């Protein structure tokens, strides 16, 4: 249970482990006199590395706007891991062109920094370099940068625009995740990446890296896409319905987190995995009908999906992580298939109490098969359960197949209509309501037929 709490404490906290090995200032601090291996000028601490200085630390209370090119006759060529981390009084900073490398989390959580000028010969933006810089408005990425690594701009809430340089060849996981103001992504100079309809892809359009948070309404993913990478749609608060084609094999960690208006996502056969906290805080999400190809759902994938009332888990799935459906008060029960062998702690039937503890959800019931891990889970957690006699496999297949047939039809219509002139709003609304009614009636009929079998 404690591990579930740590998961929900925030993905940002987990990332901080990457900086645990950040170099720290060693030995006594010396004056600027002489070519000492380590010195300080009252603001920065420097260390000689390969004949030039690396800044290893900036005083947390310092107010600075630029980094010097030289100190004590030595060029400043590098900034170490975590050197400016948590320096909360830097409004802007200019890094001289002598600097060729900037370490991991170097400027993480500089919460007052609005702009940064990067050096012209910088080779890459390392893991978490500007993570948590919540006031960062702009950054010009020089043409020398070939890689933007994991979490590089994670949580830069007011960053509204990113222009990718021609030199860029790689973007890491979560590089622009949870950037709620990121509405404009420019890849016009890039040969490795492309932007279409507000979504950043690799050049082959098989991977989605990041979507503009200005996206709204229905989002139709093209049938070239195979992977929705971590954090790709996080904080796209205005999207309502997402249509995934059968080409999509994986949904990454945090991919649709904080999509607070999303009511439905249509998942097609072909999907194999859903990552950790993929749909956390999707408060409006009403149902999750998983395809028969799905094998695993990660930790906390549907954490606090308050409106989630219906979940169909197909036979064939083998693993669900810890706290998958924690604090989903509208979800009163789930049918667990025989194939489900690995069930994480607090996966089903738990809520969060006012004091932050995980407690059993009243009125929650599991339908399980005899002699299965699902039955063991229900018993060991004290969750009410029913042992079903009918075939879970056939029931789950029928329910999911019916949902997928409806989803496939709607997806085809959406894909064909994409780019054409929109119908009048009243017609679109009536069409949407009719489809939802037909889907609900079809689902209820399948359940009624199965109960009478």
| Residue 204 resides in a domain | no
The CA distance from 156 to 380, in Å, is: 42
The CA distance from 31 to 399, in Å, is: 74
Dihedral angle computed from the Cα positions of residues 224, 226, 231 and 236, in that order, rounded to the nearest 10 degrees? 40
| Same domain membership, residue 169 and residue 38 | yes
Banded pLDDT at 425 (limits 50, 70, 90): very low
Q: Is the pLDDT of residue 83 over 50?
A: yes
Quick check: helix, strand or coil at residue 122?
Answer: coil
Task: Give the pair of three-digit tokens for residue 398.
Answer: 């029928």
Cβ 59 vs Cβ 84: under 8 Å: no
**Domain CATH code at residue 68:** 3.80.10.10
| Same domain membership, residue 236 and residue 104 | no
The CA distance from 150 to 152, in Å, is: 5
| Same domain membership, residue 169 and residue 134 | yes
> Mean of the pLDDT values across residues 431-453?
51
> How many domains does the structure of the chain reveal?
2
| Same domain membership, residue 180 and residue 98 | yes
| Residue 205 resides in a domain | no
The residue segments making up the domain with residue 332 are 215-419+427-448
The CA distance from 162 to 61, in Å, is: 29
Beta bridge partners of 343: 320
pLDDT in tens, 281-323: 999 999 999 999 999 999 999 999 999 999 999 999 999 999 9
| Same domain membership, residue 127 and residue 64 | yes
| Residue 197 resides in a domain | no
Looking at residue 72, what is its pLDDT? 87
Residue that is last in its domain, among 191, 206, 231: 191
33-37, 231-235, 312-316: segment of lowest average pLDDT: 33-37
The CA radius of gyration of the chain, in Å to the nearest whole number, is 25
Secondary structure element (H or E) that encloses residue 411, with its range: helix 392-417
Looking at residue 10, what is its pLDDT? 47
The CA distance from 68 to 97, in Å, is: 10
What is the side-by-side strand order in the sheet with 384-387?
A: 333-335, 365-368, 384-387
> Mean of the pLDDT values across residues 372-399?
78
């Amino acid at each position: 249970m404690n591990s579930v709490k740590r998961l929900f404490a925030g993905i940002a906290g987990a990332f901080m482990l990457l900086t645990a090995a950040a170099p720290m200032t060693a030995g006594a601090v010396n004056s600027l006199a002489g070519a000492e291996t380590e010195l300080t000028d009252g603001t920065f601490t420097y260390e000689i590395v390969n004949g030039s200085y690396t800044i290893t630390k900036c005083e947390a209370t310092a107010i600075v706007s630029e980094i010097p090119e030289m100190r004590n006759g030595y060029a400043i060529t590098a900034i170490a891991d975590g050197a400016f981390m948590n320096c909360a009084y830097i409004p802007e900073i200019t890094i001289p062109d002598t600097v060729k490398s900037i370490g991991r989390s170097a400027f993480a959580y500089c919460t007052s920094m609005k702009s940064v000028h990067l050096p012209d010969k910088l080779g890459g933006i390392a893991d978490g370099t500007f993570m948590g810089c919540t006031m960062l408005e702009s950054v010009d990425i020089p043409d020398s940068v070939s890689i933007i690594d994991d979490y590089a701009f994670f949580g830069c809430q007011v960053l509204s625009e990113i222009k990718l340089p021609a030199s860029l060849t790689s973007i890491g996981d979560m590089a622009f995740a949870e950037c709620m103001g990121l509405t404009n992504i420019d890849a016009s100079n890039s040969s490795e990446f492309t932007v279409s309809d507000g979504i950043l892809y690799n050049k082959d359009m098989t991977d989605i890296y990041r979507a503009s948070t200005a996206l709204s309404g229905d989002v139709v993913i093209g049938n070239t896409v195979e992977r929705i990478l971590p954090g790709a749609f996080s904080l796209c608060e205005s999207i309502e319905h997402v249509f995934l084609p059968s080409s999509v094999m994986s949904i990454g960690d945090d991919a649709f987190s904080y999509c607070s208006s999303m009511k439905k996502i249509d998942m097609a056969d072909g999907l194999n995995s859903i990552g950790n906290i993929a749909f956390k805080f999707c408060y409006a999400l009403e149902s999750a009908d998983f395809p028969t190809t799905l094998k695993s759902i990660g930790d906390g994938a549907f954490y606090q999906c308050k409106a989630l009332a219906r979940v169909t888990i197909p036979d064939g799935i083998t693993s669900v992580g810890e706290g998958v459906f924690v604090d989903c008060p509208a979800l009163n029960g789930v049918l667990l298939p025989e194939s489900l062998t690995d069930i994480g702690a607090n996966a089903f039937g738990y809520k969060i109490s006012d004091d932050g503890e995980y407690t059993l959800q009243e009125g929650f019931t599991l339908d399980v098969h005899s002699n299965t891990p699902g039955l063991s889970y229900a018993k060991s957690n004290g969750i009410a359960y029913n042992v079903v006699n009918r075939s879970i496999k056939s029931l789950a297949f029928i329910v999911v197949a019916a949902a997928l047939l409806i989803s496939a039809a709607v997806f085809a219509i959406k894909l064909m209509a994409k780019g054409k002139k929109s119908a009048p709003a009243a017609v679109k609304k009536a069409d949407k309501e009719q489809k939802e009614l037909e889907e609900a009636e079809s689902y209820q009929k399948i359940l009624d037929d199965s109960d009478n079998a």
